[in-house]
C-alpha cells in the first residue's frame, strides 16, 4: 500500500538566466506566461493555474509537481516523511509538501490549488475518412499559429537505480506500471508508470523512470495539445521561429501518442503530444522491449541526443 495516491502531474520547474528568452520560447510552444517576481509561470488552456515555471538563475531542471486529491493527503505524506505542509507561493495558491527522490530530484506534492478559468480551444470541422464522411459541402481550414497546450501529461526522469527509484515513487504516490522495459529476464532499465485512479481512465504514463548511462537528471516533459491539426500547426510555428527540433512528428508504440519533441533555449526537451492511450487500475502491467521503447509506428527514428 502506498502512502497516498496522486491524481496527476501538476507542473515542471526550471531555472534559466533570461526569462525574456524563455517567455518567447514558451509563446512559440503554445503556453501563456506571466512573471511573478523572479519567476515566470506558464499555463495552458486547461484549469491548472500553471504547468511550467522558470526561476531566474543558472540553467537547469528544478523539479516537478504532483497533484494530490486533498490537503488531508498532504498531511498523511508529511507525517510519514517528517516533512511539513506549507503554502504554495505560486499562481493558484494551495498547499504543498516538498520531498527529494533518491537521485535528488525535487518533488512538490500539491493540493488545494484554485483552478484557472478554462480558455477556448479551436473548433475545427471533423475529419473525413474512408469509413465515414461527416464533413460535406464544406472546406476544412485548420488555421496557423502556435499549438494550444491544454495540460501537462507526463515527465521522464533519468535515474541511477531504476528499482530503487521505482520503489520510492510507488510507495509514496501509488503509481502502477503500464509497461516495464526489460533488457533481459534479469534486468529492466525502466517503466512507464500511471496514476492509480481506480475505475477512472488515466494516461498510459504520468511518469517514466529510466536508468540511464548518462546518470540521473531531467529527460523531458510532455504537454497535451488540442488535436493532430493543432500539433502540426505548432510544429510549423516552432520551425518558422527557428526553434530546435529534436524528434518528430511520429507515433509512439508505448502510449500510442502522436509526438513532436523540441528543445528550449537551454537544452531542456519539451514534447507536444495528442491521441494517447488511457487505462484504468484494472488493466494489467505489460513487459516491453527496448525496441518497443525506441521504435515508432510511423515517423523518424529517435536521435542520439534523446535520453
CATH number at residue 226: 3.10.180.10
State residue 63's pLDDT score.
Answer: 98
How far apart CA 283 and CA 24 sit, in angstroms, is: 41
Query: Quick check: is 132 in a domain?
Result: no
Strand ranges inside 95-253, DSSP E: 95-100, 106-111, 149-159, 176-184, 187-194, 202-203, 207-211, 217-225, 244-252
Number of domains in the chain: 1
173 vs 2, 3, 99, 262, CA distance in Å? 6, 6, 12, 29
Query: Quick check: is 29 in a domain?
Result: yes
Query: Quick check: is 127 in a domain?
Result: no
Query: Quick check: is 130 in a domain?
Result: no
Angle at 171 (CA atoms; ends 151, 294), nearest 5 degrees: 55
Query: Quick check: is 141 in a domain?
Result: no
Query: Quick check: is 135 in a domain?
Result: no
Query: Quick check: is 233 in a domain?
Result: yes
Res 307 pLDDT > 80: no
Q: Give alpha helix (H) positions in 156-295.
A: 162-173, 228-240, 290-294
208 has which bridge partners? 156, 192
Res 85 pLDDT > 90: yes
How far apart CA 46 and CA 118 sit, in angstroms, is: 5
Res 201 pLDDT > 90: yes
State residue 305's pLDDT score.
Answer: 80
Q: pLDDT per residue over 139-189, tens digit each?
A: 999 999 999 999 999 999 999 999 999 999 999 999 999 999 999 999 999
State residue 234's pLDDT score.
Answer: 98
The answer to whether the CB of 234 falls within 8 A of the CB of 121 is no
Query: Quick check: is 43 in a domain?
Result: yes
State residue 51's pLDDT score.
Answer: 98
Mean pLDDT rounded to a whole number for the chain: 97
- Average pLDDT, integer, range 75-88: 98
Res 304 pLDDT > 90: no
- Average pLDDT, integer, range 81-102: 98
Q: Which domain holds residue 173?
A: 8-115+147-298
Predicted TM-score (pTM) of the model is 0.97
Amino acid at each position: 500500500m502506498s502512502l497516498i495516491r496522486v491524481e496527476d502531474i501538476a507542473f515542471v520547474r526550471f531555472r534559466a538566466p533570461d526569462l525574456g528568452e524563455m517567455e518567447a520560447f514558451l509563446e512559440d510552444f503554445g503556453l501563456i506566461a506571466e512573471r511573478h517576481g523572479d519567476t515566470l509561470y506558464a499555463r495552458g488552456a486547461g484549469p491548472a493555474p500553471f504547468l511550467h515555471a522558470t526561476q531566474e538563475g543558472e540553467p537547469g531542471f528544478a523539479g516537478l509537481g504532483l497533484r494530490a486529491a486533498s490537503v488531508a493527503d498532504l498531511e498523511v505524506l508529511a507525517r510519514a516523511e517528517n516533512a511539513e505542509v506549507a503554502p504554495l507561493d505560486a499562481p493558484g495558491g494551495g498547499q504543498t509538501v516538498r520531498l527529494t527522490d533518491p537521485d535528488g530530484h525535487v518533488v512538490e506534492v500539491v493540493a488545494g490549488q484554485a483552478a484557472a478559468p478554462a480558455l477556448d480551444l479551436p473548433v475545427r470541422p471533423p475529419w473525413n475518412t474512408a469509413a465515414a464522411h461527416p464533413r460535406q459541402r464544406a472546406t476544412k481550414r485548420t488555421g496557423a499559429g502556435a499549438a494550444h497546450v491544454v495540460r501537462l501529461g507526463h515527465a521522464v526522469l533519468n535515474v541511477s537505480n531504476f528499482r530503487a527509484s521505482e520503489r520510492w515513487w510507488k510507495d509514496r504516490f501509488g503509481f502502477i506500471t503500464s509497461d516495464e522495459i526489460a533488457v533481459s529476464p534479469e534486468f529492466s532499465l525502466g517503466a512507464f508508470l500511471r496514476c492509480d485512479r481506480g475505475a477512472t481512465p488515466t494516461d498510459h504514463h504520468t511518469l517514466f523512470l529510466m536508468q540511464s548511462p548518462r546518470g540521473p537528471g531531467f529527460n523531458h516533459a510532455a504537454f497535451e495539445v488540442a488535436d493532430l491539426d493543432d500539433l502540426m500547426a505548432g510544429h510549423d510555428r516552432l520551425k518558422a521561429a527557428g526553434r530546435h527540433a529534436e524528434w518528430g512528428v511520429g507515433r509512439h508504440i508505448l502510449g500510442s501518442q502522436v509526438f513532436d519533441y523540441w528543445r528550449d533555449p537551454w537544452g531542456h526537451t519539451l514534447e507536444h503530444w495528442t491521441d494517447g492511450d488511457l487505462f484504468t487500475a484494472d488493466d494489467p502491467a505489460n513487459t516491453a522491449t527496448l525496441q518497443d521503447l525506441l521504435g515508432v509506428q510511423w515517423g523518424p527514428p529517435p536521435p542520439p541526443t534523446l535520453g
